[in-house]
Amino acid sequence: MVEKKNKEQMVVCPVGKFFMELEDIMGKKSKFFEHMSRSKVEFLKGLRSLLDDGIEHYQKKSSKKAGEKMTKIKVD
């Protein structure tokens, strides 16, 4: 038989535990959690920006390497 775990047993991260305890005390409808929900979106947008910059960097780097291997041939 599988034993059900309560919230505290499932949380390993101390930061996660902190926020779960705050949620229990203040409730999900508080202004604090409203701000935290909005910050999740901004955090993800920041990650997307970071990934886009990384992709662009490596694309430029690989295109420069491809250009270095080319040999210019003079055609008459």
Confidence of residue 45 (pLDDT cuts 50, 70, 90): very high
Global pTM exceeds 0.95: no
**Paired tokens of 60:** 């430029």
DSSP annotation of 30: S
Asked if pLDDT for residue 57 goes beyond 60, the answer is yes
Confidence of residue 34 (pLDDT cuts 50, 70, 90): confident
CA distance 7 to 10: 5
